[in-house]
A and B are shown apart, each in its own frame.
Chain A
Amino acid sequence: AQSVTQLDSHVSVSEGTPVLLRCNYSSSYSPSLFWYVQHPNKGLQLLLKYTSAATLVKGINGFEAEFKKSETSFHLTKPSAHMSDAAEYFCVVRLTGFQKLVFGTGTRLLVSP
């Protein structure tokens, strides 16, 4: 079975400080991993994806994530938070070869001035 755990339901940062959103996964296969962002009452937008190429993945809006197989983690980071980053972030895992995605429960990022 595969699952994904987002370790924090809420993360609060100040504008200009680093962002760290944590995600751990469990999978018996080589997974594909994604981070999506959702602004209030909107759909989800892909931030970045890992598909067994480079372990450090760069995404849109300055976000990046590092795949660490030994730690089964795929944490999302950004060096400097912006007010517009305030949103909910979902870590998602997909078994290679299957359509089905498994979504984490989300982390709400709050950015204060």
Chain B
Amino acid sequence: DGGITQSPKYLFRKEGQNVTLSCEQNLNHDAMYWYRQDPGQGLRLIYYSQIVNDFQKGDIAEGYSVSREKKESFPLTVTSAQKNPTAFYLCASSIPVGANTGELFFGEGSRLTVL
């Protein structure tokens, strides 16, 4: 079945450590996204990529980095510069705007807790 796989589902990190969250999709979608979810705040866009080897900052990119070396993969690194990294992180994908209405397909999320 096609879909988006995020791993790990739960992750614990000590302060000062970088951590990388994995996102893989087999939907053949060009566009991929990372969102952060905090209670009562909805989803906020961290980074997005419309095509391989290209990505753009979203609304809250500080302290995060991404790469897009393959169409299927869009890993997110939470760096030590991110002041409040404890959150639920969601990866999504879509076919590009112009070909559809912008519907997103989501993974099941990764919950990061900083100890």
Contacts and interface: CB of A to CB of B under 8 A. Distances in A.
A106 B42 contact: yes
Contacts of A46: 103-105
Q: How large is the interface on B (under 10, 10 to 19, 20 to 34, 35 or more residues)?
A: 20 to 34
Q: How large is the interface on A (under 10, 10 to 19, 20 to 34, 35 or more residues)?
A: 20 to 34
Given A99-B31, A99-B97, A106-B40, A44 B48 contact: no
B45 to A, nearest CB: 7
Contact of A101 (B50, B102, B107): B102
A100 B40 CA distance: 20
Interface of B: 4, 6, 31, 40-45, 48, 50, 58, 88, 90, 92, 94, 96-97, 101-109, 111
A32 B50 CA distance: 19
Interface of A: 9, 32, 34, 36, 41-46, 49, 51, 90, 94, 97-101, 103-106
A49 B92 CA distance: 17
Contacts of B31: 99
B101 A41 contact: no
A32 B107 contact: no
A29 to B, nearest CB: 13
